[in-house]
Structure 1
Amino acid sequence: MSRLNELLQQAGNIGRNEDGSITRLGFSEGYFQALELLKARMKEIGMQVETDPVGNLHGVLPGSDPEAKAIVIGSHLDTVIKGGVYDGMLGVTGAMEVAARLKDEGRTLRHPLEIWGFNMEESSILGGTFGSRCVTGMIDPDLPGYPEKLAKFDCSPEKVKAAKRDISKYECYLEYHIEQGDKLDNADLDVGVVSGIVSVIRYEVTAKGMSNHAGTTMMVNRKDALVGMAKLIVAAEQRARELSDTLVFTVGKIAVSPGQENVIPGQAVATFEMRHMDRAVTDQFYTDIQALAKEIPNCEFEFVNTIAKYSTPCDLRLIKLIDGVCTEKGIGHVIMPSGAGHDANPMAHEGVPIGMIFVPSVKGVSHQGDEYTKPEHVDIGADVLYQTVLKLDENGL
């Protein structure tokens, strides 16, 4: 087993559950255990290392040119509940392999090399990509209610503000990650060169009917909010399939009121999520859902937008560079969008050019214990990352 695969398994297995899955939530004991392990390894490589005020791991390998901007590589150290080894951790350990290989070969880059292991990238009450949004200054920690949320993690607005960095000194940001889908695995390809990160749009949808006795109210007289919501979900799912083969639609959360077995539901609230690279597609889909809702009898619908994270394109120069590295090395690859959000999003939104490298997820499985990427793909992707960093250091953007 390669050095990278050994470190990935050692760090990635922290937080192992009895069923084989991994739970290493941001700010948890397991999270900081993994951070300290990687922090010690970074010091062995010769990096300047710190844990920043919000629990991000940060390492720097100085360059020979004090005027050169930093080449930055990052991903996250936390997992979802009952997640897997590879999501996030691959990117941090892969970045460390780049630094270790530079040391092995006696190379000193002209640019500084910075590595980030971000805290709480996964969804939480603090919002997704928490650690990277702190670094880029995208969080206003003084918003009503947010200090109280921070306090639950022994964090504070002052710490959030102190975590902000001067990202104008960043040449670019690279992120190495598993695909989390099945395109590469199905096509028997080794690498995905990411073209951009899709939009994530969410609405809280409320269906309003009328509660009544389940035994005495005949079917013809019912105004069942759950039935109305079910009809809308089915109709929206069908419309998503018709509109675009790369549009995805998910209802992962639903609540029914009053929630009693013998009472007809008077209200149902669900989260509608849609993802696509093109905002015009998600806008059209939302318009279509509203029209479908008006056709459902005995029920009224309300829509409230809760999240609107629009698509983030990767830098065309970095896409071309990574594509060229794969071609030179004869690596089977494809240029493709990412259907998941990443720490690259905040970097791009604040003006840092981003590039991403994907390797296959076997059977497209992620966010669960069976998440798996073959060891040879782990090493192939890290080599593409290494060669990309060398070319960036030589030629810049």
Structure 2
Amino acid sequence: MAVDINNIRKNLEFIGSSFNSGIKGFNRLAFSQEEKDAINWLEQELKDHDISVRRDAVGNLFARIGPDDAPIHAFGSHLDTVAQGGLFDGALGVITGLECLLKLKTYQPRNTAYELVCFVGEEVNPLGGTFGSRLIAGLVDVDGLDEEVLDKLGMTKEQLKEAAGTLSDYDGFLELHIEQGTVLENNGNKTGIVTSIAGIVRHHITVIGEAGHSGTMPMADRRDALVMASEIIQHINQEANKFTDGTVATVGQLEVEPNLATVIPGRVTFTFEVRSGDRGTLDMFPEQVTAWVKKNYDVEIIQGVVKPTHPMSRKFINAAETAGKTLGLPTMKLMSGANHDTNTLAPFMDTGMIFVPSEKGISHNPLENSEWEYIENAANIMLETLKNFDVQSDERAISD
């Protein structure tokens, strides 16, 4: 049993060409009509194949096959994109999931049920990324949401409360996704097996200097906030480069005040973000950096986003490795530096991710690309992984 890569390609390209609000790239923004239309198309495809489909109050889609009383292994991703995004991000996981579900239906599982899930609102949006998965996991404070924002999105708190906390009792969740980086490409374009999804810690740092006339203040007497900020940025970059475990640090969103050509910068505010798959590093490194900054500069530091790292389940890691060996397809283990719906579900169940190599690591960009050969490899490893859960259940039943 193998996937039909031509079906995956045809459906993915149809989604990209049919549900797009922009001229440049792919534009199915979270909660947009284009996202809704794409999910409606998916629903009809499933119904045309006599697969049971349900939608919750915010539009998350669930399509199930297999015995009613069997444990459920779920898989899927999202169909929304960033503005001017790429063809593959999110959508590849859903369309590959559709192909796997159709193949598994033909296989007729006896001891395991399978459910394709398409989450809404995974990309950045006014309600926060990974919204659909966070909502059903009970991680959204519905009462705290802005009603004006909800009204603009065509939603109500009553709708959200109906969908909130309805996460099914899955035996596990598996997501196929493009890597969005260069690790796999730099290692022979193997299929990636994710070991953990990086946690995120952000701080907002304001460097306080003194504004002054750019022509009259001597260089030795200046307190140039931008120069000091650049020293901090260099320090962060140098320290982050000492890690060999995939930990990364990024400085972005610089705001220079007063941001005039004739004035020495008096204040600079920027974000300092660390992502790591190692919980100890995620706790330790940002604290070390902010302590050094406070010691050496006049600054104000505000704690921002904190998202813990989540390891993927040994169940899925081992199963995907076994599938790769069975099929004679090379795999390698790596961390995911990007957040995904799988990260939301990880505290509640066994989770796993399979990565497809990304050409030049480009993503969130119209130039985003993955070779169909590597997509086919990853899709077949995913299908073999899922099928084997039913085979293993059958073997256990026989031994019992």
TM-score by length of 2: 0.91
2:372: which partner in 1?
375
Distance 2:243 2:253 in 1: 23
1:54 aligns with 2:61: no
* SS across alignment from 2:140: coil
Contact 1:141–1:147 (8 Å) recurs in 2: no
* SS across alignment from 1:43: helix
1:94: which partner in 2?
96
* SS across alignment from 1:7: helix
CA deviation map 1:86-120 (0-9, x unaligned): 110011011100122134x3524533322111112
Poorly superposed stretches of 4+, deviation over 4 Å = none
CA deviation map 1:323-349 (0-9, x unaligned): 101111111111221111110011112
**1:390 aligned to 381, 387, 391, which one?**
387
Distance 2:339 2:386 in 1: 23
Distance 1:106 1:314 in 2: 27
Distance 1:60 1:161 in 2: 23
**1:359 aligned to 356, 359, 362, which one?**
356
* SS across alignment from 2:365: coil
1:138: which partner in 2?
139
Q: Which runs of 5+ in 1 are unaligned?
A: none
2:13: which partner in 1?
9
2:114: which partner in 1?
113
Q: Post-superposition shift, 1:295?
A: 5.8
* SS across alignment from 1:139: coil
* SS across alignment from 1:366: coil
1:176: which partner in 2?
176
Determine what percentage of the aligned residue pairs are the same residue: 34
Amino acid paired to 2:112: H
Q: Post-superposition shift, 1:185?
A: 1.5
Q: Post-superposition shift, 1:211?
A: 2.4
Contact 1:177–1:356 (8 Å) recurs in 2: yes
Q: Post-superposition shift, 1:163?
A: 1.4
Amino acid paired to 1:371: E
1:229: which partner in 2?
229
Note closer, same or farther for the CA distance 1:155–1:366 as it changes in structure 2 (3 Å cut): same
Distance 1:151 1:205 in 2: 34
Q: Counterparts in 2 of 1:1-397, with a 5 A limit?
A: 2-13=6-17, 14-15=19-20, 17-19=22-24, 21-61=25-65, 63-64=66-67, 66-103=68-105, 105=106, 107-143=108-144, 145-164=145-164, 166-167=166-167, 169-244=169-244, 246-294=246-294, 296=296, 299-349=297-347, 351-396=348-393
Give the number of equivalent residue pairs.
389
Q: Post-superposition shift, 1:386?
A: 1.4
CA deviation map 1:4-28 (0-9, x unaligned): 1110111134327434x22221011
Contact 1:232–1:292 (8 Å) recurs in 2: no
Q: Post-superposition shift, 1:83?
A: 1.3
* SS across alignment from 1:234: helix
CA deviation map 1:339-378 (0-9, x unaligned): 11110011112x1110111111112221111111111222
Q: Which runs of 5+ in 2 are unaligned?
A: none
Note closer, same or farther for the CA distance 1:314–1:291 as it changes in structure 2 (3 Å cut): same
Note closer, same or farther for the CA distance 1:383–1:263 as it changes in structure 2 (3 Å cut): same
Amino acid paired to 1:176: L
Amino acid paired to 2:314: L
* SS across alignment from 1:233: helix
* SS across alignment from 2:216: coil
Larger deviation, residues 252-261 vs 80-89: 252-261
* SS across alignment from 2:83: coil
RMSD: 2.1
Distance 1:287 1:165 in 2: 34
Q: Post-superposition shift, 1:166?
A: 4.1
Distance 1:262 1:149 in 2: 40
